[in-house]
Structure 1
Amino acid sequence: MGSFREMSKEELQAQEVEVNKKYQEFKDLDLSLNMARGKPAPDQIDHANGMLETMTDYHAKDGLDVRNYGVLDGLPEMKEIFSDLLDIPAKNIIVGGNASLNLMFDQMMRLVVFGTEGEKPWGQLEKVKFLCPAPGYDRHFMVTETLGFELITVDMTPEGPDMDQVEKLVAEDESIKGIWCVPKYSNPQGICYSDETVDRLASMKTAAKDFRIFWDNAYGVHPIFEDVKVKNILDACKEAGNDNRAYYFFSTSKITFPGAGVSIIASSDDNIAEIKEVMTAQTIGYDKINQLRHVQFFKNADGVRKHMQILADCLKPKFETVLNTLEKELKGSGLITWENPKGGYFVSVDVLPGCAKRVVELAKEAGVALTGAGATYPYKNDPKDSNLRIAPSYPTVEELQQAMDLFCVCVKKAGIEKLLEQA
């Protein structure tokens, strides 16, 4: 296909007639498909159904009856699995409930209410700013926005956040207190942070003594096409002499059941002690029955790795459908660029500036729900109105093919409209 951007006005008008005809054909199909969120499909979740079989033993390895009170920070055997899986000492792990987002919010609230390392609680400061690499995860941005922080957008590069931007900002402004990071198969671009990026985050000079990295390794064991090793942020911080800089989050939401998984927060010895001190007042402990259920199902970290290979086999044809359709329908069109992720849950695309909202609107009118335009930026404000996140996981391959065919028509329609406006 030739680039639409090189066509004359007359050629664009002729293409518009064809595209409008195809678009109407899709509208006539009365579709109802959803590519808006990264939800695991029922067939994926089914692979963990063995966990729902009746438990015959309610006792942890040390004899504890998990139906009763006790154990603030998680069963030792659950910690061991996470320790082996993520290469983090078990003593530096606290096991939470079903949502790592909950742990992130709780940790943010502890900093707001109590502060850390003797510094003034963030809630008592006149202004708190937080760095948000974008495109990024909308729910991260929502947490810090809800708490009244000022969100500062940082550009993403193929190696992670633009570290020249990050280093300059944090060195000059002590009201910048932290940064959100999704280091492996980032949401939505599928970027994996380079060793240099991890080291620079760990060692950079910050004006704020209590600067914190919120390291959400949501897709840490979620390869599809290739497993990429990302350097351990906790080790990097320790090597740099900034032991307490990072909070590490992970969960089994996209491993077992999104609504009934197990999450963790991991950090330095000092941070873990600080967290437990407040947690003791907050809770007796999280759901130990669910933790033991996970332990009995997986047995060890290798059990998790084998399970993830099964899930990768579920996801691979879906990602191939998305990428192959983009390649077939839009390569060389000049209307779109996209990432080819090696794992994770999303495919990120950039349409012509000023077209993302229009693509979402057109898709919706024809029966396909996409993630809202702007959702991948702080305050839902994509300055170029160009980034869109495709979530292939939930529809069947057949539904996905239909949705992607329509998506490509919407990209063409919105792009041609924009080019004709400018002609």
Structure 2
Amino acid sequence: MTSAPSPLADLSPDALRTAHAEFSAAYETLRSCGLKLDLTRGKPSAEQLDLSNDLLHLPDGAYRDAAGTDLRNYGGATGLPELRAIFSDAVQVPTAQLLALGNASLTVMHDVIVQALLHGVPGGERPWGAQPISFLAPVPGYDRHFTICERYGIRLIPVPLNDDGPDVDAVAALLAADDSIKGMWCVPVYSNPSGAVYSEEVVRALVSLPAAPDFRLFWDNAYAVHHLTDERPAPFDVLTLAAEAGNPDRPLVFASTSKVTFPGAGVAFVGGSPANVEWMLHNLSAQSIGPDKLNQLRHAQFLRDADGLSAHMEKHRAILEPKFDAVSRIFEKRLAPYGAGAWTAPKGGYFVSLDVLDGCAKRAVQLAADAGIAVTPAGATFPYGDDPRDANIRIAPTFPPLTELETALDGLCTAILLAEAELLLANGIADEA
């Protein structure tokens, strides 16, 4: 019976050199395979997209909603009532306060920020753009959230993200010290990339903390129905909690069907207090005479109701669960024996967050790329791409077929082990000198 490998950091210099030589040989073998694999983005696989192919045959000749409105024509700025009702429970927003719009929630978030910069928001004394603006950014977080702020010169302030949500003490201290903070990104259920689920205690704190009247929580429910286990966290009724705390206008709730049906032809949702909804509709009136209501109708016909939505997402789970199991299995086999990483085991969402030895993430990602395995750039989960520890790597296991995913993960592990051995060996040589 062979003994298990020792953690790399505990090896003697000679043993570490031996391990480095073994990892280098394994890496050269990996490079010789001529791989071309991609773990960069959290996209649905073709098999998942096939689940929604019936949308291509809908609507089934109907073109009126339940009230008899002709959906082929202009109008209907709030979106199709039947579809809004289906998603109302999932995102815990009353149908009357939930808008169904275009195909991408990211577009809606972008437009809300631009309108706030130009015109301000309810409760504010002046446009955001007339003053220095900052946003709080829980980290690790979603790079596209950060990109919107970076595009418009909004300063991003990192806040630690714990297993139960953002560090409330850190948020409170920053809000008290900096009146330029006007917003905060939040992914309350299965955060990207860690899979963290906010606790009720944290949510109540976020809607209650003292802040400017025009401070907004950008509440992105991107993964509210994307479960991987039977344990289903109930979505928070953040609007009611905020109203009870005396801050009804604080949350702006976003969601979409991007990872439910077709990302390229889905429906985005945004909800909020009556004042926020009125503000959004007023801004939309200068931008559009109504969304694509026929696309919304086909979604309503396809999903039917809240139970139909749940049943459809179970089909997604059947495809995705084995892929997330593969991440844990391969990391446990390849990295755990060497103490070479710590990773999350999310119960939903689209990503796994992997922390490697400080100072190794960029090198590991580069080694993987040189071997034909594309991984999200190290640092992408932090504002400005700056991970101060150079440790976090976002794993996106959803898109590749399972066999390709397993090959890519195994190759990434080889790159990580080599990167960590290089750094430890270099530090040991430096210490000896």
TM class by shorter chain equals over 0.9
What is the CA–CA distance in structure 2 between the aligned matches of 1:372 and 1:221, rounded to whole Å?
27
Contact persistence 1:195–1:230 (CA under 8 A): no
Name the counterpart of 1:307: 312
Displacement, 1:235? 1.7
Contact persistence 1:210–1:245 (CA under 8 A): yes
What is the CA–CA distance in structure 1 between the aligned matches of 2:252 and 2:93, rounded to whole Å?
12
Displacement, 1:230? 4.1
Is 2:273 the partner of 1:233? no
Name the counterpart of 1:22: 26
Displacement, 1:172? 2.2
What is the CA–CA distance in structure 1 between the aligned matches of 2:9 and 2:291, rounded to whole Å?
56
1:46 to 38, 46, 50: 50
Is 2:217 the partner of 1:213? yes
Aligned residue type for 1:308? M
Superposition map of 1:286-365 within 5 A: 286-365=291-370
Superposition map of 1:69-84 within 5 A: 69-84=74-89
1:35 to 31, 34, 39: 39
Name the counterpart of 1:153: 158
What is the CA–CA distance in structure 2 between the aligned matches of 1:26 and 1:228, rounded to whole Å?
40
Contact persistence 1:37–1:391 (CA under 8 A): yes
Contact persistence 1:193–1:230 (CA under 8 A): no
Displacement, 1:330? 1.2
Name the counterpart of 1:9: 13
Name the counterpart of 2:398: 393
What is the CA–CA distance in structure 2 between the aligned matches of 1:12 and 1:413, rounded to whole Å?
11
Name the counterpart of 2:226: 222
Displacement, 1:86? 2.5
Name the counterpart of 1:277: 282
What is the CA–CA distance in structure 2 between the aligned matches of 1:166 and 1:181, rounded to whole Å?
12
Superposition map of 1:116-135 within 5 A: 116=121, 117-125=123-131, 127-135=132-140
Aligned residue type for 1:294? H
Contact persistence 2:163–2:196 (CA under 8 A): yes
| 3-state SS of 1:259 partner | helix
| 3-state SS of 2:264 partner | coil
What is the CA–CA distance in structure 2 between the aligned matches of 1:385 and 1:66, rounded to whole Å?
51
Aligned residue type for 1:91? A
TM-score (norm 1): 0.98
Aligned residue type for 1:88? V
Displacement, 1:76? 1.0
What is the CA–CA distance in structure 2 between the aligned matches of 1:228 and 1:212, rounded to whole Å?
24
Is 2:265 the partner of 1:260? yes
Name the counterpart of 2:431: none
Contact persistence 1:60–1:292 (CA under 8 A): yes
Name the counterpart of 2:98: 93
Contact persistence 2:7–2:339 (CA under 8 A): yes
Unaligned runs of 5+ in 2: 429-433
2:255 to 225, 245, 250: 250
Aligned residue type for 1:288? K
What is the CA–CA distance in structure 2 between the aligned matches of 1:59 and 1:81, rounded to whole Å?
17
Structure 1 stretch displaced more, 76-85 or 288-297? 76-85
What is the CA–CA distance in structure 2 between the aligned matches of 1:277 and 1:30, rounded to whole Å?
55
What is the CA–CA distance in structure 2 between the aligned matches of 1:99 and 1:22, rounded to whole Å?
42
Aligned residue type for 1:37? R
Displacement, 1:314? 0.4
What is the CA–CA distance in structure 1 between the aligned matches of 2:219 and 2:364, rounded to whole Å?
32
Contact persistence 2:364–2:415 (CA under 8 A): yes
Aligned residue type for 2:36? S
Displacement, 1:118? 4.5
Aligned residue type for 2:269? I
Name the counterpart of 2:408: 403
Q: For residues 2-56 of structure 1, give each alpha carbon's deviation from its aligned partner in whole angstroms, at most 9, with x where no partner exists.
A: 2110001110110111111111111111011100000100000000001111532
| 3-state SS of 1:221 partner | coil
What is the CA–CA distance in structure 2 between the aligned matches of 1:229 and 1:362, rounded to whole Å?
41
Aligned residue type for 1:359? A
Contact persistence 1:192–1:230 (CA under 8 A): no
What is the CA–CA distance in structure 2 between the aligned matches of 1:27 and 1:352, rounded to whole Å?
23
Structure 1 stretch displaced more, 357-366 or 112-121? 112-121
Q: For residues 326-360 of structure 1, give each alpha carbon's deviation from its aligned partner in whole angstroms, at most 9, with x where no partner exists.
A: 01111142221111111100010001111110111
Aligned residue type for 2:39? M
Displacement, 1:58? 1.5
What is the CA–CA distance in structure 2 between the aligned matches of 1:240 and 1:191, rounded to whole Å?
24
Aligned residue type for 2:171? V
Q: For residues 369-422 of structure 1, give each alpha carbon's deviation from its aligned partner in whole angstroms, at most 9, with x where no partner exists.
A: 000011000001001110000000011110011111101111100000010011
Contact persistence 2:91–2:255 (CA under 8 A): no
What's the Cα RMSD here? 1.0
TM-score (norm 2): 0.96
Structure 1 stretch displaced more, 344-353 or 20-29? 20-29
Superposition map of 1:137-176 within 5 A: 137-176=142-181
What is the CA–CA distance in structure 1 between the aligned matches of 2:182 and 2:75, rounded to whole Å?
34
Contact persistence 1:30–1:367 (CA under 8 A): yes
Contact persistence 2:91–2:221 (CA under 8 A): no
Structure 1 stretch displaced more, 174-183 or 328-337? 328-337
